[in-house]
Chain A
Amino acid sequence: MNNQLRPDEAAAALAEIGQQQEKAIEAVLVPVWYWWVVAAGMVAIGAAVDTHSAAVLAVVIPIAVLVIAGLTAAMIFGTYRRVRVRDRELLGDRGALAIVGFTWLIVGLTLGLAFGLRAAGAAWPATIATVAGGAALVAGGPLLMRALRRIMLGNRAGRAR
């Protein structure tokens, strides 16, 4: 059969391989709405902190934390139950570094801005900082997913070379 296979048929088979692997990788990427929900939770926490009201903090923070943690856990374990990609091979050091770097960037930006604004005597420092951090999350999250997708497609077994 090998000898009878035409180059265009072999090219079509390689394209099919690429498509199937792309679909498998895309199935484990975080959807855009996730970043919006997490950003909204961050802003709710920031605004609650700025009210300086113990009652508001007692209600808003547990709810926001529960929503963010619950959603993250549901996404991870929901996906994990259905399919598990070869994380180590596909993400590699670059992918892991991109995830850790992005997380630290958002945390550093939000906390740094909040403390900086508070030191400068600005009104609503936590709200402003979480809005900025949330905006960075919404803008950067899909970019991170695009970068991870590119890294994983580059590292997959049997990719076209």
Chain B
Amino acid sequence: MTAARFDELIHPPTRLAIVSLLAAVEWADFKVIRDQLGLSDSALSKQLSTLEQAEYVQIRKAFVGKRPRTSARLTGTGLAAFQQHVAALQQIVGRSGVTVLPG
């Protein structure tokens, strides 16, 4: 069972959305994350940098032909932090007796 630990770095809505998406994938292209979350390039870059500094996210830059391609993946540390954060949220909800249907 995953230990519950509320993570202040993950919890803000934009970062929570980014980490949630990345938790379901091996990696995702920058444009996929940007389009799914409806963010600007600069807003996404800023959030990814914050997550990268915490070693929650790994950024990969590569070239496909002459085009630069940036992708991101959640690190093991990031995935563990995310799972602990979800467990903490579930604990808060569970204590109140509110029912959350699986999304």
Contacts and interface: CB of A to CB of B under 8 A. Distances in A.
Interface in B13-68: 13, 16-17, 20-21, 23-29, 31-32, 36-37, 64
Nearest to A84: B26
Contacts of B102: 18, 153, 159-161
A7 B20 contact: no
Contacts of B89: 5, 10-11, 13-14, 17
A1 B11 CA distance: 10
A157 interface: yes
B25 A7 contact: no
Interface string A11-22: 101111111111
A160 B90 contact: yes
B23 A158 contact: yes
Given A157-B79, A158-B83, A17 B103 contact: yes
Interface in B73-89: 79, 82-83, 85-86, 88-89
Given A11-B98, A23-B36, A159 B25 contact: no
Given A2-B88, A160-B90, A24 B28 contact: yes
Most chain B CB inside 10 Å of its own CB: which residue of A86, A156, A158: A158
A157 B83 contact: yes
A134 B87 CA distance: 45
Interface in A5-60: 5, 7-8, 10-11, 13-25, 27
Most chain A CB inside 10 Å of its own CB: which residue of B6, B13, B86: B86
A15 B100 contact: yes
Nearest to B30: A82
B92 interface: yes
A81 B16 CA distance: 24
A156 B100 contact: no
Interface of B: 6, 8, 11, 13, 16-17, 20-21, 23-29, 31-32, 36-37, 64, 79, 82-83, 85-86, 88-90, 92-93, 95-96, 98, 100-103
Give the top 10 A-B pairs by smallest Cβ distance, nearest first: A18-B103, A7-B96, A158-B86, A2-B6, A20-B20, A10-B92, A84-B26, A17-B20, A24-B24, A21-B24
Given A83-B29, A84-B25, 10 more contacts: A14-B86, A16-B20, A18-B103, A87-B26, A153-B102, A156-B24, A157-B83, A158-B82, A161-B90, A161-B102
